[in-house]
Amino acid sequence: MSSIWAGVDELDADDIDDLDLPTLGQDIVMIGLEMEQLEARRLRRLARFDRERGFEEDGAVSTAAWLVSRCNMAPGAAKQRVEMARRLEGLPKIDLAFAAGSLNYGQVRVICDATKDLDEEFVVEAQDHLIDEARHCEPRKLERRLAHWRHRGDAAREVERARAQHARRELRIAPKAGGMFGVEGDLDAEGGATVLTALDALSAPDPSYAEPRTPAQRRADALVELARRALDGGELPDRGGERPHLSVIVPLETVMGEPAVPGADLEWGGVLNGEAVRRLLCDCKLHRVITDAASQPLDVGRATRTIPAALRRALVVRDRGCAFPGCDRPAAWCDAHHLVHWTKGGSTCLENCVLLCSAHHRMVHDGGWDLRRSSDGRLLVRPAPRDAAMSHDLVSRTGSPGTRSRTAGREPDARPARPRAP
């Protein structure tokens, strides 16, 4: 082992700032190759350690648990290495190619996974073919090629493999500490591709402003949007005699925005802040429940819509979709937003309401953007103070019918809306 540390010391002796870029690139490749070869040798040692139950010397219950304890590995990574070490003992040619640097860890992992349920004698005879398939193929592409190889060998077996994968499907979603919800699980190939196709259709960058969201955030928003559309579409089974919907219990003083008040309770756990509540209250079904001092219900009023159906139809005719500058989301994806919220005395009328998609509705309530009508009826958009630098790019599509002027009579730092083409 001393020679390994001698090599590390030799690398440390180099002044990286003095190396030219081609030399740096060559070093990166060579260090990576040597790391792969060291990993192959570690797995060889791990195979014997596991076979002879060396973990018991330290009181561990398994080799994977020993790796977690002694090497600070994540449990999943530890389990994967133990399985690979065991598998490579029966694949000597794959093991030699790994140790020689002809295959890397990712390629060997794919081979081990693709062959673990196949006949051992068949796999041993197929090693040369597997090495040839993997030699010039990155792991993801290799996984696809070996899936076709398996299917050519025994299509009926692959049907059973797919059934087994489908049986392992699971999804977990639950409140976490801090107010977030955790989502994790596994889907089979068909289910995962179906979900990704739907998410991809809804997770494109927003063209209406400089997109601040990461791809992962856009996928998270797309998942929520899928659920919103399913709830709004009315095709889900009834629950408790009602269409399923997001349910929030909120005190009146929180609705009115009074100081030092609690938040709102979500049905599935979690607490919403007052601004989020007012965003939902722009366009929802509202139940009035009067309680006594002990929070016992005394009277339950009939549910009323904050946006009547007739007003909703008028908004669709006028706005045609999200009124935020540059947004092309259709009316079916939008909420009605009160320019002056009804809890602040704003009326529920055509002049005081506008259609906004969920993303831009959140920007207005939670992000500090301001929408208002000018004296001549045009819709003006004022960015949040921190986003003022991008205000020159904002031009809304909607406004009072026939208004097309972009600058006349606009308020300072606000952008007038322009109407949609009929």
What DSSP string runs through 130-161?
Answer: HHHHHHT--HHHHHHHHHHHHHHH-HHHHHHH
pTM of the model: 0.61
Helical pair 105-115 and 21-51, crossing angle rounded to 10 deg: 40
* Burial grade of 350 (CB within 10 A; 0-12, 13-18, 19 or more): middle
| CB contact at 8 A, 297 and 289 | yes
Give me the tens of pLDDT residue by residue for the chain, a chain 422 residues long: 666 767 777 777 778 888 889 998 998 999 999 999 999 999 999 999 999 999 999 999 999 999 999 999 999 999 999 999 999 999 999 999 999 999 999 999 999 999 988 989 999 999 999 999 998 899 999 999 999 999 998 999 899 988 999 999 999 998 888 888 999 999 999 999 999 999 999 888 877 667 788 999 999 999 998 998 888 787 788 776 666 788 888 888 888 888 998 888 888 778 889 888 888 889 888 877 777 777 777 667 767 778 988 999 999 999 999 988 878 888 888 989 999 998 888 999 999 999 998 888 988 888 888 888 888 878 888 887 765 444 443 445 444 433 323 333 334 444 444 334 33
Give the span between the Cα atoms of 85 and 223, in whole angstroms: 38
What DSSP string runs through 361-410?
Answer: HHHHHHH--EEEE-TTS-EEEE--GGGGGGGGG--BS--STT---SSTTP
